[in-house]
Chains A and B, each alone.
Chain A
């Protein structure tokens, strides 16, 4: 039983962060089916309603790359060096699995919330 001690925006913000963490991975993998560099990726995510700051995105990209889900390449564009990312073959498989899992969780949640 809840003790009712926690109230206000802080618990919500913390829970929202937890909820977003997993979703961001799926969103980033989904966006990188098309090659992009950091800024355009952030902009694309923000345009679709998922804002992500620099210090969250770049370590996430690095982690996904070290797990073999992304491939990156430094290239010059508009007289500036930019690191371009795209989904690897392994990443494509993982994204498919994650999306299936996402659908399952979503269906379960809908069912639970309808029952309540």
Chain B
């Protein structure tokens, strides 16, 4: 006789019920009592059928048929959730928008480059950015979840579901259109003119400084950033040519525009940082007074400050554009097919 068969088979039942109770909240323990009664009745019925008490294997078979304790407890307890099915789509949308479409671009395109500019080490910048992104992501997700948990607990009282008006629904989305050829051609002409202007500036400074070119010279910073700015303009021209040649690449304009904006943002960011690092009494990062006159130095100072302010404004504009273009790019990627007005009738009838 084995050790197993000598054991009281009903002890197995008690162990099973104990395991079920473990997974049930205290308020639901009476369900475990009912389950216990049911299982005892099953054992009794089976014993009556066989005409003898059940052994451990037979009791085990009954318990196995009932199911794993954690699964049984899961089915017994009332359905409870932090965020219910009614508001879950909104929760998922807000979470996705915040984490993927807002925080990720901010960390990748702003925080990362800023860390790189301040530390000067790519590895350290990536490490600190990932660390900050992790913490920020968790914090944002936690706050959003908490807000939605509160909404879940209060929405039935506030009757939010009833308070809506079909007229407040957003307008129909416009189908994705191919880029307009005329507009692209105009952009291309302006970009070619800008390239010509950029190529001429080193030889004809009055093109950028106007009459002040007679007493102001370009500062050393321009030598560093001239090539990236030139390359960006060339890239923009190539991009517009591709759009003109391949108008059927409907996603290319959106994604390439985003890439261009991000690269411009990085260059402008570097320029602002570089200008900030040349601090001191002789702060002249963008233009220098060619002559030693006091008036020329004052004008150079005003021009330097004006250029810095313009760069900061450009940075803000590019950042907003990057966020909007990220949104548009993601939308163009996730949109499987364009929605044609009138197709709703298929669902109505």
A residues contacting B by CB (< 8 A) are 37-40, 42-43, 53-56, 58-59, 62-63, 80-83
Contact = CB atoms under 8 A, between A and B. Distances in A.
A55 B75 contact: yes
Contact of A83 (B34, B66, B72): B34
Interface of B is mostly: helix
Interface string B34-49: 1101111110010000
Interface string B19-36: 000000000001101110
B72 A55 contact: yes
Contacts of A40: 41
Contacts of B75: 55-56, 59
A72 B139 CA distance: 47
A99 B35 CA distance: 29
A59 B37 contact: no
A53 B37 contact: no
B31 A62 contact: yes
Contact of A39 (B41, B76, B77): B41
Nearest to B20: A55
B142 interface: no
A80 B72 contact: no
28 contacts: A38-B34, A38-B37, A40-B41, A42-B38, A53-B66, A54-B35, A54-B38, A54-B39, A54-B66, A55-B35, A55-B66, A55-B67, A55-B71, A58-B31, A58-B34, A58-B35, A58-B38, A59-B31, A59-B75, A59-B77, A59-B78, A62-B31, A62-B78, A82-B37, A83-B30, A83-B33, A83-B34, A83-B37
Contacts of B42: 39
A54 B37 contact: no
Q: Which 8 A-B pairs have the closest CB atoms?
A: A55-B75, A39-B41, A39-B38, A55-B72, A38-B38, A58-B34, A54-B38, A58-B31
Interface size class of B (residues with CB under 8 A): 20 to 34
Nearest to B37: A82
Contacts of B71: 55
Nearest to A41: B38
A37 B33 CA distance: 12
Interface of A is mostly: helix
Contacts of B78: 59, 62-63
A54 B263 CA distance: 63
B38 to A, nearest CB: 5
Given A39-B42, A53-B66, A58 B37 contact: no
Nearest to B28: A62
Nearest to B35: A54
A81 B37 contact: yes
A43 B46 CA distance: 13
A53 B66 CA distance: 7
Given A58-B31, A59-B31, 19 more contacts: A37-B37, A38-B38, A39-B38, A39-B42, A43-B45, A53-B67, A54-B35, A55-B66, A55-B67, A55-B71, A55-B75, A56-B75, A58-B35, A58-B76, A59-B77, A81-B37, A83-B33, A83-B34, A83-B37
B19 to A, nearest CB: 14
Contacts of B31: 58-59, 62
Nearest to B77: A59
Nearest to B44: A78
A43 to B, nearest CB: 8
A53 B38 CA distance: 10
A59 B77 CA distance: 7
Contacts of B41: 39-40
Contacts of B45: 43
Interface in B67-118: 67, 71-72, 75-78
A56 B31 CA distance: 11
A39 B45 CA distance: 10
Nearest to A62: B31
Contacts of B33: 81, 83
A59 B74 CA distance: 11
Nearest to A61: B34
Contacts of A58: 31, 34-35, 38, 76
Contact of B76 (A42, A43, A55, A80): A55
A50 B71 CA distance: 22
A39 B72 contact: no
